[in-house]
Amino acid sequence: MGSFWHAFADMSAVEANGPFVIDRAEGTHVWDESGKRYLDATAGLWFANVGFGRAQIAEAVATQMEKLPAYSTFGDYSNRPAEALCDLVSELAPVPNSKVFLTSGGSDSIETATKMARRYWQLVGEPERQIFINREHAYHGMHISGTSLAGIPANAAGYGDFLEEVEQVAWDDAAELAELIHKLGARNVAAFFCEPVIGAGGVFPPPEGYLKAVRQVCRDTGVLFIADEVITGFGRCGDWFASGRFDLEPDLITCAKGITSGYLPLGAVVAAPRVADEFYAARAGMFRHGYTYSGHAAVAAAAIANLDIIESEDLLGRARELESELPAALERLMTLDVVEEIRSGLGVLAAVQLDPDRLEEDPALPMKVVAGAREAGVLTRALGPGALQISPALVTSANDLEEMVSGLAIGLEAAG
Ligand code: PLP
């Protein structure tokens, strides 16, 4: 066995069974080292929005790497790809005149947003606003702030306390958020974190009117509204950002994944003028925060090429078509006893929820279904409440959907 310590893994099990080595990928498919082909129902980890094998991105990166791979962007240092990318993201974001802070991934973006939120309140003279509110089922990455903000209990367990000023509300109840803020005193609450569609927690699309209502609660109480669009950004919800589709105008948007479709690691925080102006004011001084790769030139080139593909191939339009094609294709799995429900209907996102009674009898059921689907040539993943992740690339065809549902059905039948 080698030295590669896998993420989110029980390494004793990985060592016992050996790693599952992915060798190459093209479009919506990946191949293992034996040459077996799989339909990728998850777009990697929700990131491969434009699909795999895009020479245009590889060429843009190679050209940039030969010229300038990366350089510091601390202080007054800059590079043109990072500038061009931030201008582009600011233009695409549903927040007029926003500023864009680059990071190396989603967890970095969450970490940055928590520090921006706290610092913002200090800058405007309300330093007692320290509490963050998250939602049940939430996933906000795995740095210290993201772990503290976890709405999936297992993800926060086993470390003791990190950030203590965190309160949680139900995932679907705007009135509860208003009541909690009232109880805590708005003057003590810094920000509310909200995934427009809860992803890793099990794919829970928002109830009708929920997003607008929580946005309004935040407006009414001054609490910063932070949309975590690490999954939903850059096309997955049929718009550049889900916040645009629901007209939310967040104070901060965290993003990653689809910004490069995973060709290189990148994250970003989009800041509305309400927040950014305070940091840009002369009296604010230096924001002592940032990463070595905040503005990596070759990564920025990958992102620009990726966003160009999304635009030129109208993948936002394709995502809106898939929004109804995907549930229609998955519907046939409802005939299987082991399936409790299909959660879908917003963007290219769905979960196949397994029957709770069966899950209680056999907690290993999701892993068995995942293994069976893999055997049948479809890659999926078990999510929090015993559900299967369905988030294929935005270039998914009708044939791909058919292949996906057939493989899932085989895995579900074998395990169920
Ligand atoms: N926020 C959300 C909503 C996510 O889904 C994720 C990752 O899946 C993150 C944050 C963390 O992103 P990363 O894994 O790139 O650090």
CATH number at residue 191: 3.40.640.10
Stretch 369-390: mean pLDDT, rounded? 97
pLDDT above 80: residue 347: yes
Residue 416: its pLDDT value, please? 77
The pTM of the full predicted model, rounded to 2 decimals, is 0.98
Flag whether 3 is in a domain: no
What are phi and psi for residue 27, nearest 5 degrees? Answer: 60, -115
Flag whether 5 is in a domain: no
Q: Do both 243 and 345 map to the same domain? A: no
Residue 214: its pLDDT value, please? 98
pLDDT above 90: residue 297: yes
pLDDT above 90: residue 385: no
Give me the number of domains the chain comprises.
Answer: 2
Ligand 1 centre to CA of 405 (Å) is 26
Flag whether 6 is in a domain: no
pLDDT above 90: residue 55: yes
Give the tens place of pLDDT for each residue, 187-243.
Answer: 999 999 999 999 999 999 999 999 999 999 999 999 999 999 999 999 999 999 999
Residue 161: its pLDDT value, please? 87
Q: Do both 183 and 325 map to the same domain? A: no
Ligand 1 centre to CA of 43 (Å) is 14
Residue whose Cα lies nearest atom 13 of ligand 1: it is: 106
Q: Do both 122 and 236 map to the same domain? A: yes
- Count of CB atoms situated within 10 Å of the CB of 172: 16
User: What atom in ligand 1 is closest to the CA of residue 108?
Assistant: 16
247: its two tokens: 């007209």
Pocket test for ligand 1, best of 42, 49, 107, 137 (most atoms within 8 A of CB): 107
Which of 312, 347, 372 is a domain's end point? 312
Which are the contacts of 77, defined by CB distance < 8 A and separation ≥ 6?
A: 71
At residue 362, the 3 state secondary structure works out as coil
Ligand 1 centre to CA of 197 (Å) is 13
Residue 70: its pLDDT value, please? 98
Q: Do both 223 and 289 map to the same domain? A: yes
pLDDT tier, 384 (very low <50, low <70, confident <90, very high otherwise)? confident
Which of 286, 312, 338 is a domain's end point? 312
Q: Do both 135 and 260 map to the same domain? A: yes
- Is the minimum distance from the CB of 105 to ligand 1 under 6 angstroms? yes
Stretch 347-366: mean pLDDT, rounded? 97
Residue 57: its pLDDT value, please? 99
**Reduced DSSP (H G I as helix, E B as strand, rest coil) percent helix, strand, coil of the chain, to 5:** 45, 15, 40
Residue 10: its pLDDT value, please? 95
- Is the minimum distance from the CB of 141 to ligand 1 under 6 angstroms? yes
Residues of the chain above pLDDT 70, percent: 100
289: its two tokens: 């925060």
Residues of the chain above pLDDT 90, percent: 98
Ligand 1 centre to CA of 414 (Å) is 31
Q: Do both 287 and 376 map to the same domain? A: no
User: What atom in ligand 1 is closest to the CA of residue 200?
Assistant: 5
Which of 280, 312, 344 is a domain's end point? 312
Residue 202: its pLDDT value, please? 97
Chain-wide mean pLDDT for the chain? 97
Residue 181: its pLDDT value, please? 98
Residue whose Cα lies nearest atom 9 of ligand 1: it is: 141
Contact call for residues 260 and 266 (beta carbons, < 8 A): yes
Range of the domain at 396: 11-53+314-415
Residue whose Cα lies nearest atom 1 of ligand 1: it is: 140
Pocket test for ligand 1, best of 144, 198, 230 (most atoms within 8 A of CB): 230
